[in-house]
Amino acid sequence: MSKFYVVEKAGVPAVWQTEPEQLPTLLKRKSGFSVNDAGASGTRKGALDLLRQLYPGHRPIKAKAE
């Protein structure tokens, strides 16, 4: 089952979805990225919430259209 990880490169965060055993391979292939020590999330929303806590100002919540 895939998980969502908060990663960063040069201070710019991102969320990756991958199988836990594939994460080391992705990190080798995409040089310069590191995984945040906060751990994996089971949902994308959870990973984005974590990203917003760790990196305020990145990926702000979009206002809902009324």
pLDDT digits (tens, 9 = 90+) for 6-64: 999 988 899 999 999 999 999 999 989 999 888 889 999 999 899 989 888 876 666 66
The per-residue pLDDT for 34 is: 92
pLDDT at 58: 77
pLDDT of 56: 87
Query: 46 vs 6, 7, 31, 32, 50, CA distance in Å?
Result: 10, 14, 25, 24, 6
> Would you state the pLDDT for residue 65?
66
15-24 — which CB contacts under 8 Å span 24+ positions? 15/44, 15/47, 15/48, 15/51, 17/44
- Residue 20 tokens read as 């836990």
Supply angle C-alpha 58, 3, 7, rounded to 5: 35
Query: Would you give the DSSP letter of residue 57?
Result: T
